[in-house]
Amino acid sequence: MASTIYRLITIVSLLSLIHCAYSAAQHRFYLRLTEQPFVSLPADVVAQTVISLVALIYGTSYLANPFQYIKKDQHHDRTCDEALNCPSFITFENRSKAMSPEFAMLRTLKQQQRQRQTSSRKETHSGRVSETIHSSESTDSQE
């Protein structure tokens, strides 16, 4: 398994890093004993630190979850209904209206009214023009 290799790299480099810290402390301790001034760490300790640090970063980056594309959809769990809904264009001509008993009653009332109006319009067609206009106006306002 590839992940065991990366795990091994991580553990070894971590141990090596701890070892570096220990050697550095040892070096300072030795300097103090021999009463020499501290200039810098010995090259081998520095090299070991750098190498094990790089190895540690390499190992852990493979151990963690796989890399993700940096540009990511923020709302990835949004459902289709949510994404494709246009709430400010909502219209109310829908099935709940067709099912509501009140609106069903309203519908039949309107139909009756319309029938009455068309029949009354036929009657008044000859003489009373003003009433025809009035009734057509009221139809307009209902629509």
| 21 burial via Cβ count (<10 Å: 0-12, 13-18, 19+) | exposed
Query: Which string of x and - marks every residue 60-79 that binds other proteins (by CB under 8 A)?
Result: --------xx-xxxxxxxxx
Establish if 40 lies at the interface with other proteins (CB under 8 A).
Answer: no
Q: How far is the CB of 71 from other proteins (least distance, A)?
A: 6
Q: How far is the CB of 115 from other proteins (least distance, A)?
A: 17
Q: Work out which of 3, 39, 89, 126 binds other proteins, going by CB under 8 A.
A: 89
Q: Among residues 35 and 102, whose Cβ is nearest to other proteins?
A: 102
What type of residue is 111? Answer: Q
DSSP-assigned letter for residue 78: -
Establish if 98 lies at the interface with other proteins (CB under 8 A).
Answer: yes
Whose tokens are 């070892």? That residue is 19
- 40-57 burial: b if 16+ Cβ within 10 Å, else e: eeeeebeebbeebeebbe
Binding site for other proteins (CB under 8 A): 68-69, 71-104, 107, 140-143
